Amino acid sequence: MADNDLAKTRERVLSLRREIEKHNYYYHVLDQPLIDDAKFDQLMSDLQQLEEEYPELKDPDSPTRRVGGEPLSAFESLEHKVPMLGLDNAFNEEGLLDFAARINRLSRVDRVDYFCELKIDGLAVSLQYEGGLLKHGLTRGDGYSGEDITQNLRTIRQIPLKLPENLSLEVRGEVYISKKDFEKLNRQREEEGLMVFANPRNAAAGSVRQLDPRLAAKRPLKLFLYGLGQHSLSLSTQEELLCYLEKMQLPVNPNRTICSGIEEVQDYCRLWQGKKHKLPYEIDGVVVKVNSLILQKELGFTARSPRWAIAYKYPPEEKMTRVVDIEVNIGRTGAITPVALLDPVSLSGTTVKRASLHNEDLVAEKGIMIGDTVVVHKAGEIIPEVLKVVKEKRTGREKEFIMPHKCPSCSSETVRLSGEAARRCLNPSCPAQLVEKLIHFASRRAMDIEGMGPAVAELVYKSELVRDVGDLYYLTADKLIALPRMAEKSAENLVQSIANSKNNPLRRLVFGLGIRFVGEKAARLIAERFGTLDLLKEAQEEELTAIEEIGPKISEAVIHFFNKPETDRVLEKLRAAGVNFTEPIGNEEVSEDLAGKTFVFSGALSSYTREEAAEIVEERGGRVSSSVSKKIDYLVAGDEPGSKLEKARQLGVKVISENEFEALL
């Protein structure tokens, strides 16, 4: 090829790389995408194609090579150029005042300027850039050397592989997983029969230490940077330092402030203690740093930590309450789950009345009895959990909980299969299981049949109108109106939403059928691979396991499901009713009509949780941001929308009500 052509192609490749990195930055760091996903994917695929065609133009720092490496057998240890020290803690305001008094004494200054940052509850990492290129990423380790987790950190799109300037420096920060992503990750793991993570920090730590970078790449890791190790910059304050990191296009937490004197620091700490549950990620305190870097240098370090900073730690959000009773829930797969019914307590912004106790082993391990006083918290500030029993509060009137050996719904023997923690009811016609199957089938993520919640599912089952999900499609308004507490309008709406659900893509049907271990993601992969239910029914195990991410456990469960005679009966009812059995090509489950649109939600919505609303927007190609800026398209104002509404009005952002949001959908 002529040199000239190669030079032109090189120019094109370099410009594609710059373009892609720019969009990575706008999307992942600024949360303000400039183009929609389809356009971005097109740029990536153009670049990939050129790099394939012209191997001489390949570059390990190309955005196509974020996930490159092979699985490791162990992490290597690498040295930090400047040690990564920990922080001293203050557990109350007295601790803060002591910290300030010491600084005043050592600096001989009465009123020091402090810089306050949120203390992200994740795990500390250090990024080493050389000549502007990301060379290494390390865990903290023992502070002097850490594990080389470069391959995994490269998969985080917020981390630039190349800085805008040709610099050599160490930048430090915290890797974390957001509360919403944590919940989603655990839901997916539960559906796939995997162990769930106790909290977002454990999920982040586990993910960062994955030996296979392809697995790490699938984890929703994010990070905030807040400090430097070795560097040759001349900066004078912590505030300037963070602005500088922002200028280097690194992700920095926007919630930070200068406080003049320790009283303002106290106010700031109180402020965030009251509203930390509203943040999309977990924080466990505020980090207070002396703002002046000159003064920091003067104050120096003790053997363990800097004298110029302290971590003001919030007490973990835990409350004591009483287990009023333990009831058992029967899931759609027959798993029997003990659930603690609690005296209502307010925790991280909501009232908690129930907490799953997961299985009988866990109840025994924690020694929970009915009537016990217990300590509860919320994992990831979302999922209520009983942490421990306060044995000192026992009165002797507590009752032992015994897992029922007969199903409370159908009275058949319950069994524990070997290797399983759950006790199960194996009766395929157990009413409780069948009702749960209906609820799951109709749920928003599956067939999305509005009006078919738990109460209605139970009603149509008990009235014998519906015995399985196939029967739903034969319900008529007349039959429904005859049921107790069923209004004419609701009956008509329900029949309409059942009819609408016939057009859903195959993936929703596969998920809705409730095949064991087949969560939303597996359902999508399977539907995309086979295209029609009839082909899927004939699937061989090898064909299923050939799908990336589908292992033998899921494959076996799928094959077992389609071999059951009752499956055939249900599928024939669905077919005869005209339910769609095909997956549209090109992955167009829902229209991408919100592509390129950014939403901010503020205040409580009446029909969805914020997470659900966000998911709906994202499913349709839109984005949800947590902060109001000129770049957002809509602010959806729920009840008590607060300061975001004011800001949106000031900036001239379009403000819509929940009703208008629904109309938009």
Q: How many CA atoms lie within 13 A of 660 on its CB side?
A: 11
Residue of minimal Cβ distance to ligand IVH? 124
Q: What is the Cα–Cα distance from 359 to 339, expressed in whole angstroms? A: 9
**Of 307, 138, 107, the residue nearest 230 (C-alpha):** 138
Exactly one of 17, 80, 119, 136 binds ligand IVH (CB under 6 A); that residue is 119
Please state the separation of Cα 185 from the chain's center in Å.
6
Sheet arrangement for strand 256-260 = 89-90, 309-313, 283-290, 113-120, 256-260
Name the one range near ligand IVH by CB under 6 A: 195-203, 303-311, 361-369, 459-467: 303-311
> Does residue 87 bind ligand IVH (CB under 6 A)?
yes
HEC-encoded secondary structure of 628-641 = CCCCCCEEEECECC
Q: How far is CA 177 from CA 53, 215, 251, 623, in A?
A: 37, 15, 14, 18
Task: Report if residue 85 touches ligand IVH, rule: CB under 6 A.
Answer: yes
Residue 143 in the binding site for ligand IVH (CB under 6 A): no
- The reply on whether position 83 binds ligand IVH by CB under 6 A is no
Asked if 282 interacts with ligand IVH (CB under 6 A), we say no
- Which residues pair with residue 647 across a beta bridge? none
Least distance (Å) between residue 438 CB and ligand IVH = 45
Adjacent-strand bridge partners of 350: 347
Give the per-residue contact string, 164-183, with ligand IVH (x = CB under 6 A; - = no).
----------x---------
Tokens of 50: 């050129």
Cβ pair 171, 160 in contact under 8 A: no
Cβ(371)–Cβ(399) under 8 Å?
Answer: yes
Report the Cα–Cα distance between both ends of the chain, in Å, rounded.
52
Quick check: 120 binds ligand IVH (CB under 6 A)?
yes
Binding mask 369-398 for ligand IVH (x = CB under 6 A): ------------------------------
What residues numbered 214-233 form the site for ligand IVH, per CB under 6 A?
226-227
Query: d(Cα 553, Cα 268) in Å, to the nearest integer?
Result: 50
| Residues assigned a catalytic role | 119
Q: Which positions from 304 to 333 touch ligand IVH by CB under 6 A, shown as an x/- string?
A: --x--x-x----------------------
Q: Does the footprint of ligand IVH cover residue 117 (CB under 6 A)?
A: yes
Amino acid code (one letter) for 116: C
Using CB under 6 A, which of the segments 99-107, 114-122, 236-244, 392-400 binds ligand IVH?
114-122
Task: Give the three-state DSSP class for 549.
Answer: coil
Given the complex with ligand IVH, which of 47 and 311 has the nearer CB atom?
311
Among 78, 124, 449, 579, binds ligand IVH (CB under 6 A): 124
Total number of residues shown for the chain: 665
- Span interacting with ligand IVH, options 113-121, 345-353, 516-524, 621-629, rule CB under 6 A: 113-121
Report if residue 86 touches ligand IVH, rule: CB under 6 A. yes
Which is closer to ligand IVH, CB of 238 or CB of 602?
Answer: 238
> Maximum Cα–Cα distance for the chain, whole Å?
90
Please state the φ and ψ torsions of residue 187, each to the nearest 5 degrees: -60, -45
Answer for the pair 226, 242: CB distance below 8 angstroms, yes or no. yes
Report the DSSP pairing between strands 89-90 and 598-602: unpaired
Please work out the total of residues on this chain that contact ligand IVH, with binding judged by CB under 6 A: 14
- Segment contacting ligand IVH by CB under 6 A, of 112-120, 387-395, 407-415, 532-540: 112-120
Judged by CB under 6 A, the residue of 185, 223, 287, 515 near ligand IVH is 287
Q: Which is nearer to ligand IVH, 136 or 424 (CB)?
A: 136
* Nearest-angstrom CA–CA distance, 115 and 241: 11
Instruction: Give whichever of 174 and 381 is closer to ligand IVH, judged by the CB atom.
Output: 174
Task: Give the contact letters, 233-272, x = binds to ligand IVH (CB under 6 A), - = no.
Answer: ----------------------------------------
| C-beta separation of 92 from 314 below 8 A | no
Residues contributing to the site for ligand IVH (CB under 6 A): 85-87, 117, 119-120, 124, 174, 226-227, 287, 306, 309, 311
